Amino acid sequence: MTAPRRRSRRARRVREALLGYALVAPALVVFGVFVFYPFAKNIWLGLYRTPPFPGLPKRYAAFDQYERVLTSPEFRNSLRTTVVFVVATVPTGIILGLLMAMLAHQRLRGITIYRTIFSSTVATSIAVASVIFFTLLNPQVGLLTYWLGRQGEPSLLDDPRWALWAVSGVTIWQNLGLSFILMSAGLQGVPDDLLEAAEVDGAGAWSRLRNVVMPLLSPTIFFATIVGSILAFQAFGQIDLLTQGGPLKKTNVLVYAMYDAVFRQNNEGKAAVLSVALFAITLVLTLIQLRLLERRVTYER
């Protein structure tokens, strides 16, 4: 009596396990081939010097190459450029998004139209945004060139002093929609009477905003800062479309430097080292995020 039942229970467990594996298998295969394998391969590639001419054997260099690339002035320039780009784009985007979200949170007639307008840049891809500004900054016919009184001068994008700021500006604009949406979602969690109290004009409005509303919004802001920074460290499209890393490598951010190393300099080893560096940065930012998340959870308890 009991033996067949036990056997059938076991058969059911085996069947359940097989079903489980079958359901996770497709995703696991994709991850194996396109996430874990290339990740491991990158670390390994970093140990080998890429030969100057294709076809020659790779030379094992142990951590020599890591050291050489990571201490090179070129890497330092890329890292500095990327950090400046992150610092220029992320906080500005968040502050502007927050400002728009606070303004659009009011009960006013027609406010939905403003909300739609404020979210609108979420519909522009980085390529769309870049091409729009590339044309607006055209040295001959660009409208911004004209308004900035720079006609007859090289485009802002070709000016070593301005290129990175121009690229940052385009990025901020493109991210405004997403920033607005995130901050609005955060504001939904703040009780209305608190917000209204902070809105009352006159003395105390600012301090109420800072002391009452901000703490409630701080999880959203922290979170947007970290995620925004991770994404900004991965910037590529706007660089490729606007400046190709130039002028004078002033916009040669990490991912563009990787692309350049592989597809122009034929130097996979160097790109691999850069990719490991970018991974380390992503990892640190993610760990900070997890730490904050943990703290938030304990606060709530």
Rank residues 68 and 173 by Cβ distance to other proteins and give the closer one.
173
Asked if 57 interacts with other proteins (CB under 8 A), we say no
For the residues of the chain, what is the DSSP string, one character each? -HHHHHHHHHHHHHHHHHHHHHHHHHHHHHHIIIIIHHHHHHHHHTTEEPPSSTTSPPEE-TTHHHHHHHTSHHHHHHHHHHHHHHHHHHHHHHHHHHHHHHHHTS--TTHHHHHHHHHGGGGS-HHHHHHHHHHHT-TTT-HHHHHTT-TTSPPGGG-TTTHHHHHHHHHHHHHHHHHHHHHHHHHHTS-HHHHHHHHS-STTHHHHIIIIIHHHHHHHHHHHHHHHHHHHHT--HHHHHHTTT-STTTT--HHHHHHHHHHTS--HHHHHHHHHHHHHHHHHHHHHHHHHHHHHHHHH-
Asked if 31 interacts with other proteins (CB under 8 A), we say yes
Asked if 21 interacts with other proteins (CB under 8 A), we say yes
Task: Please report, as residue ranges, which positions from 77 to 136 form the binding site for other proteins (by CB under 8 A).
Answer: 99-100, 103-104, 106, 108, 111, 114, 116-136
Minimum distance of other proteins from residue 96's CB (angstroms): 8
Rg (C-alpha) for the chain, rounded Å, is 25
Asked if 222 interacts with other proteins (CB under 8 A), we say no
Interacting span for other proteins (CB under 8 A) from 47-55, 67-75, 87-95, 220-228: 220-228
Rank residues 39 and 60 by Cβ distance to other proteins and give the closer one.
39
Task: Please report, as residue ranges, which positions from 256 to 295 form the binding site for other proteins (by CB under 8 A).
Answer: 258-259, 262-263, 268, 271-272, 275, 278-279, 282-283, 286, 289
Please pick, from the candidates 51, 83, 209, 234, the single residue that binds other proteins as defined by CB under 8 A: 234
Please pick, from the candidates 78, 82, 175, 184, the single residue that binds other proteins as defined by CB under 8 A: 184
Asked if 11 interacts with other proteins (CB under 8 A), we say no
Minimum distance of other proteins from residue 159's CB (angstroms): 16
* Token pair in block for residue 198: 């902070």
Rank residues 48 and 173 by Cβ distance to other proteins and give the closer one.
173
Minimum distance of other proteins from residue 173's CB (angstroms): 7
Rank residues 30 and 62 by Cβ distance to other proteins and give the closer one.
30
Interacting span for other proteins (CB under 8 A) from 17-25, 47-55, 76-84, 202-210: 17-25
